């Protein structure tokens, strides 16, 4: 005989099951809320990292330098390494002895193994260095204030001139004043008008004055301008006012520098912009078009517009490679009787 449960026993079982069900549902909702919270927190941390993280890294930065190019003396001729331009050549943001200009002349005590004894003094025993670059200097001020300080050297002296100029024309005054020539920050691309032509004229004035300063011959090594936004014009993520056309305006300035170097046999371009792409404010963003998987680090100093020590190391290497490619031949050319005559009658 089958015994049917009474209504009272069914009711009692239901009363026990309902709280247990409610507890399970409440526990499930709590777990979901915790999981959602963890997702939100993780997303926030990841967003902050990928937008604001600026790891500097350690060790050498930039291209390799062929030691063989510095194995033998280039020339005994007197050579002056002259620095012109702005804070990049002055070395703002570098540790003592670690600006690119200083490292061209002499290695710091803690030099990386691959560049020990790789400097211009090692291959040019009669090298003299003079750096008259000044932080904040625009191309206008370079022409007006730096060039008048130059005095002609004797004909036996060759001038190797390194220049970084034009960057302050672009970034001053960081949006604090309306855009103008020499302080273009915030300018729309169509607003710059004849300013690029004026910049080109100033570069030609610099080249002419350098040649007058070194009647025995010279060669200019001029760097183009890097872009801390890695080409994205999103200066707002670097703590500056938004400037949608910033990279486009910068590219125009670099086009002027590039064309200037291409027009003259005694001028070489140092492609600093290309070397620094991927080492700006987007350096950790693996999906970014300029991402450098081999070295996803930040090469700029605290002020954004100047390099840090690793950035200066990279710039030093760029200059060394081009100087080693060009200067031995130029010095040999100028040391010959024909070369000296051409130099004096130029």
pLDDT tens-digit readout, 100-122: 999 999 999 999 999 999 999 99
- Identify whether the C-beta of residue 250 lies closer than 8 Å to the C-beta of residue 225: yes
Same domain, yes or no, for 72 and 105?
Answer: yes
Q: Is the pLDDT of residue 309 over 50?
A: yes
pLDDT attached to residue 43 = 66
Q: What's residue 235's pLDDT? A: 95
Burial of 346: CB neighbours in 10 Å, binned 0-12, 13-18, 19+: exposed
The CB-based long-range contact list for 331-338 (8 Å cut-off, 24+ gap) reads 331/74, 331/75, 331/77, 331/79, 331/158, 332/75, 333/217, 334/77, 334/158, 334/216, 334/217, 335/75, 335/77
Residues 239 and 150 in one domain: yes
pTM: 0.86
Strand ranges for 165-319 from DSSP E: 218-223, 267-270
Q: Radius of gyration of the chain from Cα atoms?
A: 30
- The pLDDT tens digits of the residues spanning 204-256 come to 999 999 999 999 999 999 999 999 999 999 999 999 999 999 999 999 999 99
Q: What is the pLDDT of residue 45?
A: 59
5 located within any domain: no
Q: Which of 186, 184, 191 is nearest to 166 (CA)?
A: 184
* Bridge partners of residue 79, in order along the sequence: 127, 158
pLDDT of residue 31: 73
pLDDT in tens, 161-213: 999 999 999 999 999 999 999 999 999 999 999 999 999 999 999 999 999 99
The DSSP symbol for 99 reads S
Indicate if the pLDDT at residue 55 is higher than 90: yes
In this structure, the answer to whether residues 108 and 190 fall within a common structural domain is: yes
Q: How many Cβ atoms sit within 10 Å of the Cβ of residue 242? A: 12
Q: Are the C-beta atoms of 324 and 71 separated by less than 8 Å? A: no
Give which of 68, 250, 80 is closest to 156, Cα–Cα: 80
Task: Write the DSSP symbol of residue 183.
Answer: B
Q: What six digits make up the tokens of 222?
A: 């001029």
Q: How many domains does the chain have?
A: 2
Asked if the model's pLDDT at residue 37 lies above 80, the reply is: no
If asked whether residues 202 and 121 sit together in one domain, one would say yes
Separation between Cα atoms, residue 246 and residue 268, nearest integer Å: 26
Q: List Cα–Cα distances, 94 to 99, 114, 157, 237, 281, in angstroms.
A: 5, 20, 30, 24, 19
The single-letter DSSP state of residue 228 is T
**Any domain includes 208:** yes
**Continuous H helices in 172-308:** 195-213, 246-263, 272-276
Would 42 be classed as within a structural domain? yes
The domain of 70 spans: 60-344
Render pLDDT for 2-36 as a digit per residue (tens, 0 to 9). Answer: 555 555 554 555 555 666 666 666 666 777 777 77
Same domain, 34 and 169: no
At 169, which CATH number?
A: 3.40.50.1110
- Pair 154, 24 in one domain: no
253 and 319 fall within a common domain:
yes
The H-or-E segment that residue 161 falls in is strand 158-164
CA–CA gap between residue 231 and residue 73 (Å, rounded) = 40
- Same domain flag for 156 and 32: no
Task: Say how far apart CA 75 and CA 252 lie, in whole Å.
Answer: 38
**Does residue 262 fall inside a structural domain?**
yes
Question: How many Cβ atoms sit within 10 Å of the Cβ of residue 115?
Answer: 20
| Bond before 173 cis per omega within 30 degrees | yes
Do 227 and 266 lie in one domain? The reply is: yes
Q: What sign results for the dihedral spanned by CA atoms 109, 114, 117, 118?
A: negative
* Domain presence at residue 3: no
Residues 197 and 68 in one domain: yes
Residue identified by tokens 């100047």 is 306
Confidence of residue 333 (pLDDT cuts 50, 70, 90): confident
Which residues, in sequence order, are CB contacts of 48 under 8 Å at separation 6+? none
Residues 75 and 27 occupy one common structural domain: no
Does some domain include residue 7? no
The answer on 148 and 27 residing in a single domain is no
Encoded tokens for 274: 């290309």
* pLDDT tens sequence across 259-298: 999 999 999 999 999 999 999 999 999 999 999 999 999 9
């Amino acid at each position: 005989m089958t015994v049917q449960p009474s209504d009272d026993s069914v009711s009692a079982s239901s009363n026990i099951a309902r709280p247990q069900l409610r507890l399970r549902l409440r526990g499930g909702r709590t777990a979901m809320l915790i999981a959602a919270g963890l997702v939100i927190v993780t997303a926030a941390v990841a967003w902050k990292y990928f937008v604001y993280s600026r790891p500097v890294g350690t060790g050498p930065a930039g291209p390799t330098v062929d030691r063989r190019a510095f194995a033998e003396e280039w020339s005994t001729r007197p050579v002056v390494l002259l620095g012109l331009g702005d804070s990049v050549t002055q070395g703002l943001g570098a540790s003592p002895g670690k600006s690119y200009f200083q490292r061209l002349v002499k290695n710091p005590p803690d030099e990386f193994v691959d560049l020990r004894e790789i400097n211009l003094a090692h291959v040019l025993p009669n090298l003299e260095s003079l750096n008259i670059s000044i932080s904040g200097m625009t191309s206008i001020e370079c022409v007006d204030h730096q060039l008048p300080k130059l005095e002609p050297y004797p004909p036996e002296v060759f001038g190797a001139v390194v220049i970084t100029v034009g960057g302050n024309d672009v970034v001053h005054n960081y949006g604090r004043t309306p855009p103008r020539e020499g302080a273009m920050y915030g300018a729309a691309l169509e607003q710059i008008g004849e300013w690029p032509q004026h910049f080109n004229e100033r570069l030609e004035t610099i080249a002419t004055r350098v040649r007058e300063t070194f009647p025995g011959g010279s060669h200019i090594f001029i760097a183009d301008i890097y872009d801390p936004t890695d080409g994205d014009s999103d200066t707002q993520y670097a703590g500056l006012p938004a400037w949608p056309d910033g990279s486009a305006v910068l590219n125009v300035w670099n086009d002027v520098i590039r064309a200037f170097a291409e027009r003259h046999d005694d001028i070489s371009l140092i492609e600093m912009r290309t070397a620094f792409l991927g080492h700006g404010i987007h350096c950790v963003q693996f999906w970014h078009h300029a991402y450098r998987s081999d070295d996803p680090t930040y090469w700029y100093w605290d002020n954004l517009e100047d390099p840090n020590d690793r950035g200066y190391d990279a710039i030093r290497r760029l200059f060394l490679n081009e100087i080693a490619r060009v200067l031995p031949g130029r010095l040999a050319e100028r040391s010959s009787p024909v070369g000296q005559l051409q130099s004096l009658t130029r």
